[in-house]
Amino acid sequence: MNPICQLLNIQYPILQGGMGNVSNAPLTAAISEAGGLGTIGIGTLSPNEIEQLIVSTKEHTDKPFAVNIPLSVTPYVKETAKYMFHYQIPIVVLSAGNPAPYIPKFKEKGITVVCVIASVKHAQKAEQAGADIIVAEGYEAAGINATEESTTMTLIPQVADAVEIPVVAAGGIGDGRGLAAALSLGAAGVQMGTRFIATQEGAFHESYKQKLVEAADTETTIVGRKYGKIRRLLKTAYAEELLNDEATGVDIQIFINKTTEEYHRRGAIEGNFIEGFINSGQIAGLLNDIPTVDELIQRMMKEAKEGFKSAASFI
């Protein structure tokens, strides 16, 4: 039995990464319905919006789904926890901050706690604080990244050796080969963001999906390194503007102001790549279609099994 599937009460060890502000209930529900774990991202949403998103996701599925709370981004951890208790959401995914002070409250209510980290030290701390599952996210990933810049290939085996609890690999996984690779490195499952954007159910602008499908392997870029605020984006006119700002030494506050959720929404939802940005992981170059979530998950499971067989024939 896969420990991730057991702990999360899901069929396949494939998790949706939280995508604050831009993902929606139908995508989360479709992933859970397909046997994976759908995740709501609360990002900078207001308490009312968070409640609506939970209610709407519950209307679309009876299967378990998670709520992602990016701790340093939202001021509404308490309110979100209250809604989670009220609506009996079984899984919380804590990211972007120190989860230790929050873990006991969720555990007391019987909620399974998943912590997203990007280093061995933070994985061990989360385990000591009571986390049930670690998501170890490498530098290939879309969106906000850790300053350590460790890649998934190097991070997963080191984290898997350092903790007793199950590990999920995130960053750079887009097909069944990636799933098989992650399992070979010591993970028990994968979390994906970029691949789930280019699906039929993803409520993102069609030109965002299309751009991911057309992207070459070299088409993502890192912005914000100079400010210690690393974010992986698809190369667009707006990403170029951010890079130029950085090169000419604009103030960190200007960078922060130009990378708020408003600019994210303009890119991801409105398809405006001149006045807004779009997150993308390095795996974008691998994507060449826009399947349904169910097709994607079934295909990945089949590819992973085939991948193991063909890899075994090489040794």
Ligand X SMILES: Cc1cc2nc3c(=O)[nH]c(=O)nc-3n(C[C@H](O)[C@H](O)[C@H](O)COP(=O)(O)O)c2cc1C
Sign of the dihedral through C-alpha 266, 268, 270, 275: positive
In whole angstroms, give the CA distance from residue 187 to residue 304.
14
Kind of pairing, strands 91-95 and 112-117? parallel
Residues 219-258 that bind ligand X (CB under 6 A): none
Q: Which of 8, 13, 17, 201 binds ligand X (CB under 6 A)?
A: 17
Instruction: Give yes or no for residue 276 binding ligand X (CB under 6 A).
Output: no
Q: How many residues bind ligand X (CB under 6 A)?
A: 31
CB 76 within 8 A of CB 42: yes
Taking CB under 6 A as the rule, does residue 95 contact ligand X?
yes
125-132 contact pairs (CB < 8 A, 24+) = 125/98, 125/100, 126/99, 126/100, 127/163, 127/164, 127/165, 129/99, 129/100, 129/103, 130/103, 130/104, 131/94, 131/99, 131/103, 131/165, 132/7, 132/165
171 binds ligand X (CB under 6 A): yes
Per-residue mark of binding to ligand X, 190-209 (x: CB under 6 A):
-xxxxx-x------------
Pick one of 92, 136, 141, 286: the residue that binds ligand X (CB under 6 A).
141
Beta bridge partners of 65: 38
CA distance 307 to 179: 9
Minimum distance of ligand X from residue 284's CB (angstroms): 8
User: Whose Cβ is closer to ligand X: residue 186's or residue 250's?
Assistant: 186
Which residue, 8 or 247, has its beta carbon nearer to ligand X?
A: 8
Residues between 278 and 297 that touch ligand X (CB under 6 A): 279, 281, 283
Q: Which stretches of the chain bind ligand X, using CB under 6 A?
A: 17-20, 22, 41, 43, 68, 70, 95-96, 116, 137, 140-143, 170-173, 191-195, 197, 268, 279, 281, 283
